[in-house]
Structure 1
């Protein structure tokens, strides 16, 4: 087994825009020097109350919302690729990984659950992303639960409705807690128990005196976990930071319209004995808030984890022949071979991407394998030991390219099931697209 490092973040942004640097929030240096920094392998970034007016939702359907764009632009400079983004009104969940892991990530899928207005409205609820990497399954959940001190029962009901409603299409991991690792984050909105009848001003005095442990004994989330009513399947490190809600926007002063509370949380679960002769494990490296961010009445919270994955796990891949160049004004072809028995589906496709693309959504053109690829004759080649290996090659044709397609590009082979479960099976070399001058 070997370690994979995850960086998990949650932030209720209160409809604000990211008009400040996000380096500190993501644990990244301002000078972009990483010589002495161990970069996380995967970033899981969750947001709540992202601006969700109709005109914004329409634009976000065509382009990245401001928070996704800002995070993607920053992480791109450290060689991360956005592998999945899912949004439900103000709820947003983005997953990024280092480029070197792309061919080891499989079966990416997302889901969402509405819990507002008894499941009719998406102002509250959950969005999730599941994937497999190096032989282990991971599930990430971002939820925004019912608000206010007196709605504890509603938060418990929200949680249990999310558990029941979320359903995935990958065998043996159809439910959230069937995965090897689960990370649950968000504005869970748990407050202090109503029996703790202190005023906001009295609670702030306890915070100033650093009596956080005494205050935390009245935390509603831990109360329902102990009773087995909600979140009891998960674990959480005790927060050593002060309550992250509610602040006067633009300051670090508590807003006494609400009692301070630890609304913003990150929990996890590991199923340690899912495989014979190995033990899966989570080591939490940090759990902290970021008080310098003052864009909303919440403070962002982040956590870092090491998880165990299989070090010798090898994924099946599609291997492209070297591409020298393509011509802007001609029909272009590429050849690839199946190196192992990879079951093809009718929805497999190959996308044309700019070299060093920053998102799996950023293809500039694509073709379906079932429509535009055909097998090519391939001679059997003798292998060591006297055996032979029959490798089937295919050729795919891109009949036309978008206008002004210049510079270096690459091809990416995607496996896609009928249920929209995506895997990246192959990436070609970088090659130029040129335009031949007319005589």
Structure 2
């Protein structure tokens, strides 16, 4: 019997939120980022890595290549006291992804790249589409994709087309990991905008949601139906949401705006290629999946999930695993971590004092 050792045993916190073009100013993110002692990580420890995806971020601010988006700065101001450092960020108009990590993991992150795909107006406009961060994480290929797909009940076909356009057009430089689903770990999240099929009224859906009849509603969920037919997202899996539909709320309240039928627009899915390397076992056990009703800034509720990201090997280091998995890969993004560390100190700290 082969004895294995965990060379990576991480808790990764994922968050998606459509912020409806609102600013984060004066908004406490302590509860949202589980900095209040409710992380769902083993031992209730803080996560090793945060990956946060936002949609409908305001694009009104003057572009400044030396300054991050206010949301990234606000997130940094909450995390820096806990010794997190920014790995990278990518923004496509209102779609934003950012990653933060504990310092001890920085040397185990290589080949960091970002990518973006526009799907709005047939690929000409970036109001819809996806942004991503991929990297070698403890020797394995991991990619985090944040997307905002076509809106409205009757745009299912467009959402399917958006998905396939993102899959086809997202391309990376790392050898062996040119595309999203080449990766050992895939985490895909965002405002996917999938609605409920059928002709139930907004009032009927609200009544079922208030009665916590989620199973009944999820049978009509477009994303679940698509995954079953193989038309989109079929390579990914999702823990069934055990929370109320996260759209559409009257801003500033927890009351549904019945101009739209409530739906689970905001989702987090993942995929793991568990046994593709000899004497290596990969796993991503989902520890939580929840919405946060406390936040009423926009017409969407934020949704988060935590995963236990684990790499077990027999007599291998993560450097040796990296050599096996990323052989010949260039390292276009490797310097980003150290550069970002200095950036957070100089830019994010003053912002936290505003």
Q: Aligning the two structures, in what range does the TM-score lie when normalised by the shorter sequence?
A: 0.7 to 0.9
Q: 2 CA distance for matches of 1:115 and 1:197?
A: 28
TM-score (norm: length of structure 1)? 0.70
Instruction: Choose the corresponding residue for 1:114, options 118, 128, 135.
Output: 118
Query: Aligned partners of 1:244 and 1:218: how far apart in 2?
Result: 15
Shift of 1:5: 1.0
Residue 346 to residue 66, structure 1, CA distance change in 2 (3 Å): closer
Secondary structure class of the residue paired with 2:123: coil
Give the deviation of 1:278 after TM superposition.
Answer: 2.2
Equivalences for 1:127-138 in 2 at 5 Å? 127-138=131-142
1:104 aligns with 2:108: yes
2-structure distance, mates of 1:147, 1:233: 22
| Alignment pair present for 1:29 and 2:36 | yes
Distance 1:348 1:20 in 2: 32
Distance of 1:91 and 1:140 partners within structure 2: 13
Question: Cα RMSD (Å) of the superposition?
Answer: 2.7
Match of 1:246 among 222, 245, 248: 248
TM-score (norm 2): 0.87
Aligned residues: 328
Q: Which secondary structure does the structure 2 equivalent of 1:96 belong to?
A: strand
1:359 matched residue in structure 2:
341
Deviates more, 1:108-117 or 1:206-215: 206-215
Compare CA radii of gyration and give the structure with the larger one: 1
- Contact in 1 for aligned 2:86/2:344 (Cα 8 Å): no
Distance 1:310 1:151, change over 3 A: same
The C-alpha deviation readout for 1:91-137, integer Å capped at 9, x for no partner, is 00001110111111101000000000000000000000001121111
Cα distance in 1 for partners of 2:289, 2:30 equals 17
The answer to whether the aligner puts 1:58 opposite 2:66 as a matched pair is: no
Gaps (5+ residues) in structure 2? 1-5, 321-327, 347-354
In structure 2, what is the equivalent of residue 125 of structure 1?
129
Q: Which runs of 5+ in 1 are unaligned?
A: 317-342, 365-439
Residue 289 of structure 1, CA deviation:
0.0
**Deviation for aligned residue 1:348:** 10
Check the 8 A contact 1:132/1:138 in 2, yes or no.
yes
Larger fraction in helix = 2
Q: Tell me which protein shows more strand as a share of its residues.
A: 1
SS in 2 for 1:197: coil
Measured against aligned partners, the alpha-carbon deviations of 1:11-41 in whole angstroms (never above 9, x if no partner) come to 000011123110111111289xx9x641211
- Using the alignment, how far apart are the partners of 1:158 and 1:347 within structure 2? 27
Are positions 1:175 and 2:179 aligned together?
yes
- Choose between structure 1 and 2 for higher RCO, CA contacts under 8 A separated by at least 6 residues: 2
Aligned to 2:298: 296
